[in-house]
Structure 1
Amino acid sequence: MTAEVFVGKAWAVVALVLVLSACQTVAPGAVDQGEKVLSLVAQAQFELAEGRVEKGLALFAEAVRLDPRSAELREEYGLALASAGLREQALSELRKAATLSSEGEAVLGLLAAQGAGSREDLQEAVVHLEKGQAFAPYADRVRQSLIEAYLRLGQGAKAWAQVEPLLAEHPESPWLHLVAGQALRQLGRFSEAEGHLQKARGVPEFSAQATGELVEVLAQQGKFKEAAALVGEAVRQGGAPTLPGLVRWATLLVRAREEAKAVEVLDEALSRDPNFTDALILRAAVAFRQGKADEAEHFYRRALAASPDDPDALLGLARLYLELRRFDEARPLLVKAREVVQQHEDALPGAIAEVAEEQAALELVARAYDRALPFLQELAKKPLERRGLALWAEYFRAQERWSEGLAFFKNASAVEDPQTLRLLRSIKAEFLLFAGSREEALAELAAMAGGELEDARAAVGTAMRSKLYKEAVAWAKKALERFPGDGELTFSLAAALERSGQFAEAEKTFRLLLASDPENASALNYLGYMFADRGENLTEAKELIEKAVALDPLSGAYLDSLGWVYFRLGDWDRAEKYLTEAATLEPFDPTVHEHLGDLFQARGQVEKARASWQRALELKPDEEGQEERIKAKLAGLPHAPAP
């Protein structure tokens, strides 16, 4: 910031300087201390006006030493230091002043914002900038700095309150369109943000920053192809693309389901640097998504060889092992990830909680509830976010500790955002239901079902999980009248219809959903399994499920469906292949073990059938009539030979 910006009120005392300049030769003690301070200030101002900055500041410093409690004097000294470009010293003096004029507040705010390296620094700057807005000579600079500080703090509403009236006055300002886009993005008003950022992007000075913001706005709207196209254009136009630029491009391509192109971009990055960790990790994630577990493990291992303490590589490989149910290999990776993030806690905010979530999830999947509890308790030391709430719900739900869980959630502290609070509300309703307060639970869920789209989705989903199929059908139908074509509600309606025994209506609804979203893996699998379980349309069922498996090759549920349809078709070898893989990925799913038992019985492997069905019973099947069905199958087997 140039020195002339801070021409303070001190320079207005020129007449006083001329009068008091004669006092330079007054002998010590000839005037009292107050007069001496005044004389020093006058001399300091004169020297500064003449360009003798060092001498002027020294005189100011002496005056402050003689009268350190004078807020006005300290402010004058701070303004002089600011005009001289001595930022840190100016900050120190202005902060020491007990009170500041609007000019002092403005200058202190500008200086604090200029070098703010932390959230706390920015918050301090905002306090002073807000107080300094009244100082007219700096009003534009203060408002600009204030807007930028609000945006950096994530306070989009405050930034927009400043930007909106300015835009009305200066509708062609590219900077205002840039900050308007940033503020509206923070407010979740993405389509409006997109329009402003497009305008800012047309001005070379702001093009790069506006493009970066526009990419994020498009991604937040799910427009991944458009976002990827923008990044690809920027990467190619910039000459030799940077490695981070290539990885960002590939990330968006993955989210746009253009995985083949993403692999090309990542391979380009790795050809330039085979040990570029971010590219290796994303390459592993793509392989994981494609169901290529061995390939995913290979790239994660390469990433860890290049960067043994990279937390993303450690977590990525741990998640792969968790998905493959290789718990004993996942645990030490998570322990090491925790050690790493604890060493860099300041640079990785929230990373310890993320690791704790993964550790809790692993133990819950492994049904090691006692081992999960310490990690869950660690998460509960702070307001819970969505995943923390979901993990706690699964902890109580899996053990059917409904009353205890309800008490926990009634007192739980949750992050104050709409999605988290919505999840907490739906969990409370579910636990109320199973704790015996059915009417209260139904009233709460019905209220949610009649609310906004996300509320309706949550209510219908909770009803499905709680086997309230009749209510789920009614609520989903009413919600779809208000939100026609919503895929999540349509899927829930179709599933609830099937669970209610309305198979023809369920089939019609699933087909409607697949007509609009042909790659909806959940709908493909559900409709295919529905046919296979009823022994109908088996050829089509196989095609539907094979497509679901191609979309998500590591889904144990989809592999179970594929094995089951092959069983129904009489292809027992393929049935055993897929059912065995499903049992590996879903070792605690009673339906998978029941299906294996059916296969073994058909093959005459009586003891294997008995073991599979007994395992299914141990896992407490909750499908209506399933427990009785499995017991009948066991009763029909010949008695086991005496040991």
Structure 2
Amino acid sequence: MPLPPVPAISARRAPLKHPGGRLRGLCALMAGLGLLGGLALPARAQEAAPSAPAASAAAAAPTRSALDGVLFYQVLVSELELRAGNPALAYQVMMEAAKRSRDEALYRRAVDIALGAQAGEQAAEALRQWRQALPQSRQAAEIDTQMLVALGRFADARKALESFIELTPEAERPAAIASLPRLVLAGAKPQDTARMLDETLAVWRSRPATLASAQIATAAAWLTAGERERALGYVRQASRRDPADPTPALLALELMKDTPAAEEIVRAHLASPMPAPAVRAGYVRRLSTAQRYGEALREARALTRAAPEMGNGWLMQGALEIEAGEPAPARVSLQRYLDLRSVATPPLVRPQTSGEDEDDGSSEAGDLLRRGDEQELLQAFLMLAQASEQLRDYAAAQTWLERAAELQPQDSATVLSRRASLLMRQGRLDEARALLQRLPQDTPEQQRARLLTETQLLRDARQWQAAHELLAQATARLPDDADLLYEQALLAEKLRRYDEMETLLRRVITLRPEQQHAYNALGYSLAERGQRLPEARELIARALALTPGDPYITDSLGWVEFRMGRAEEAARLLRQAYGQRPDVEIGAHLGEVLWSMGRRDEARQVWRESRERDAGNEVLIETLERLKVKP
């Protein structure tokens, strides 16, 4: 949109007659507006300033671009007109000032005024005149490139971009090239922008000094444009050139989300002599997201060995150790995290002593909060409470929950839930259920969350009938709530009401055909009971297609293969699942398959590992008793 025409302004162009005190006052005003950056004051104004020595005034003699009276007046008028809501006049006066002074800052200001007024034609004209007046201006070439990309004029944008790179000093060129992928975000056609960057950077990918940055910039541009396979190709080239360079590996981590082949690039970097801790930390997160918890834990431990001062590494390691059923190592890892954050902590085992003065660490916690780590600290406290609870160190668990409550003074749903779980583990189930009544219930979502929390509490206490009755009341009111129906189905199975379980799960599948858990639960239940095994396998395969690589569903598929007499395939699948997630029930299944194949020592080893994680697991106990095995 062009700016409207403006009247002649020649009458406003007379220079100031008295640039002394008034000029200093106006200079102060303009400095406050940020309008004097990069502009030299005229000599007479400097002489008038009481703090400026004569030598400084002489040294700052006006040049062609100096801010003389006329130029000063033009800049001031332009800014005042802009503030008064007259961008057309502000633009015209600023352009006259820029052409008269050939000052880069004034050309840039004119472009900004036009862009602020959404006057694309004037902005383009200001840039054209800027580049004509100052052909060696790198800033003008950069802004020109950005504008042309935004306008979709890619042929012209490429010329401007080539000029920008050529005008960049050689030492700064790699960094400038590395910054180019941001252009992709600015354009309406990201694929065309990425292609233009790719073609422009071809020559720079052939020069040793810019090879690395040009490869990475091209890869990042295609990644930003959503062309992941093209991005992967350039990332591979960069990685093969120098596997120790962390930049290709960091891009590969982004690609790993839906391009599995990128993982080999990450692994290549981690195999280099000094891999970057940031790459390994990112890899741990990717593996965790993919539920490959066993691998994630191994990488987390490698990270803390290589970078023991990296607090987040210990936090991730502790979380994964809890996931793996290793609460004692988890507690050590999480306390190491708090030590690195300088947060006071209670001892690992805290005896209850009447009248004991406790250091609650509130000042350290407050300091951590001020550093913006509230959520991390809260999670560390909650995980320490969970680990202590699993170790039956209930006093320490209560202490950690109190520390968590310091960060969330209101009745946090998470803290209350953990407190209820702690009471339940101490046999105080009625108190635990009463505590859950304090959970917020103002909205249907909050009521539903409280119901599911109480149900889980009853499940953990093996109160199957009470939990089933609670859910039955809820599903009577909400017959189409798939989550509640699914939970009720699992409880029906615990009560051996298999027909009811199947009816409920098929209802869930009807309501949510993409819900993989319902297919898996029904298929596993059939396999466990040795019924309709081909149908069970089909259901589980459907679940795995919805969530490829899920270790629990892979376990189910391995179990149904075993029930169908295919022990070798079952062992392969169960090894895969156990490697991803060394869960006790998966270990029980894997051990049984190995035992049936005559691999007794290997089976005993898996069972021993599983018993160390949870000796009270029902599936493991039943398996060992049925096979009459003592690992």
TM class by shorter-chain length? 0.5 to 0.7
- Residue pair 2:249, 2:266 contacting (<8 A) in 1 also: no
Map 1:16-35 to 2 at 5 A: 18=14, 21=17
State yes or no: 1:589 paired with 2:617. yes
Amino acid at match of 2:337: A
Q: Residue 246 of structure 1 aligns with which residue?
A: 249
- The alpha-carbon distance between structure 1 residues 522 and 292, as it changes in their structure 2 partners (threshold 3 A), is closer
Deviations 1:13-52 (A, max 9, x none): 874674973x679xxxxxxxxxx9699659999xx9xx87
**Amino acid across the alignment from 1:560:** A
Match of 1:550 in 2: 576
Q: Within 2, Cα distance between the matches of 1:181 and 1:479?
A: 43
Shift of 1:482: 6.6
TM-score by length of 1: 0.52
- Describe the shift of the 1:382–1:179 C-alpha distance in structure 2 as closer, same or farther (beyond 3 A): farther
1:402 to 433, 436, 441: 433
Aligned pair in 2 of structure 1 residues 405, 213: CA closer, same or farther (>3 Å)?
Answer: farther
Do 2:184 and 2:224's aligned partners in 1 also have CA atoms closer than 8 Å? no
Q: CA deviation at 1:372?
A: 5.0
Match in the other structure for 1:579: 607
Shift of 1:347: 7.1
- Note the aligned Cα RMSD (angstroms): 6.1
Q: Who is 1:310 aligned against?
A: 310
**Is 1:523 matched with 2:553?**
yes
Structure 1 pair 134–507 and aligned structure 2 pair: CA distance change class (3 A): closer
Q: 1:490 aligns with which of 519, 527, 531?
A: 519
Matched with 1:335 is 335
Match of 2:381 among 356, 361, 364: 356
Structure 2 residue aligned with 1:540:
566
Structure with greater helix share of residues: 1
Match of 1:266 among 259, 269, 272: 269
Query: C-alpha distance in 1, partners of 2:44/2:280?
Result: 59
Q: What do residues 507-548 of structure 1 show as CA deviations (whole Å, max 9, x unaligned)? A: 44225545787855323422544686xxx43x4256325412
How many residues are matched?
A: 459
Aligned 8 A contact 1:235 1:246 in 2: no
How many Å separate the matches in 1 of 2:24 and 2:254?
A: 66
Structure 2 letter corresponding to 1:441? A
The 3 A distance-change label for structure 1 pair 303 and 501 is same
Question: 2:474 aligned with 1:441, yes or no?
Answer: yes
Three-state SS of the structure 2 residue aligned to 1:410 is coil
Distance 1:566 1:38, change over 3 A: closer
398, 401, 421: which is aligned to 1:370? 398
- 5+ residue gaps, structure 1, are 1-8, 26-35, 63-78, 85-89, 108-130, 142-165, 184-192, 413-420, 450-457, 609-643
Question: What is the TM-score of this pair, normalised by structure 2?
Answer: 0.53
* Cα offsets for 1:476-521 (capped at 9, x unmatched): 5355457656544422443466689965553442255457878553
Please tell me whether residue 427 in structure 1 is matched to residue 449 in structure 2.
Answer: yes
> Contact (CA 8 Å) 1:464, 1:496: kept in 2 or not?
no
- Residue 346 of structure 1: which of 342, 352, 371 is its match? 371
Separation in 2, partners of 1:20, 1:524: 83
Relative contact order, higher structure (CA 8 A, sep 6+): 2
* SS at structure 1 position matched to 2:587: helix
Kindly indicate whether the alpha-carbon contact (under 8 Å) linking 1:524 and 1:544 is maintained by their aligned counterparts in 2.
no
Change beyond 3 A, Cα 1:314–1:294: closer
Query: Does residue 203 of structure 1 match 2:196?
Result: yes
Aligned 8 A contact 1:103 1:132 in 2: no
2:447 and 2:571 map into 1 onto residues whose CA distance is 34
Map Cα deviations across residues 174-232 of structure 1 (whole Å, 9 max, x no partner). 99xx989859xxxxxxxxx9x943232112179977853764786xxxx9x84872562
TM-fit CA distance, 1:301: 4.9
**CA shift at 1:327, angstroms?**
3.4
Q: Which amino acid aligns with 1:410?
A: Q
- CA, structure 1 residues 549+43, in 2 after alignment: closer, same or farther (shift >3 Å)? closer
Task: Quote the Cα distance in structure 2 between the aligned partners of 1:170 and 1:310.
Answer: 45
TM-aligned CA distance change 1:360 to 1:15, over 3 Å: farther
Contact residue 396 and residue 402 of structure 1 kept, 8 A: no
Partner of 2:539: 509
Q: How does 1:288-299 map to 2 (within 5 A)?
A: 289=292, 291=294, 296=299, 299=302
The structure-2 alpha-carbon separation of the partners of 1:303 and 1:103, relative to structure 1 and needing over 3 Å to count, comes to farther
**Cα distance change on mapping 1:588 and 1:364 into 2, 3 Å:** farther
Where does residue 73 of structure 1 map in the other structure? none
Alignment of 1:120-131 (within 5 A): none
The one-letter amino acid paired with 1:526 is S
Following TM superposition, by how much is the alpha carbon of 1:260 offset from its aligned partner in structure 2, in angstroms? 7.6
Contact 2:522 2:539 in 1 (8 A): yes
- 1:90-169 mapped onto 2 (5 Å cutoff): 101-102=84-85, 135=117
Measure how far apart 1:310 and its partner are: 0.5
Report the alpha carbon displacement of residue 309 of structure 1 after superposing the two structures with TM. 1.6
The equivalent of 1:53 in structure 2 is 41
Counterpart AA for 2:619: T
Q: Distance in 1 between matches of 2:184 and 2:477?
A: 38
Mark the CA change 1:371 to 1:546 in structure 2 (over 3 Å): closer, same or farther.
farther
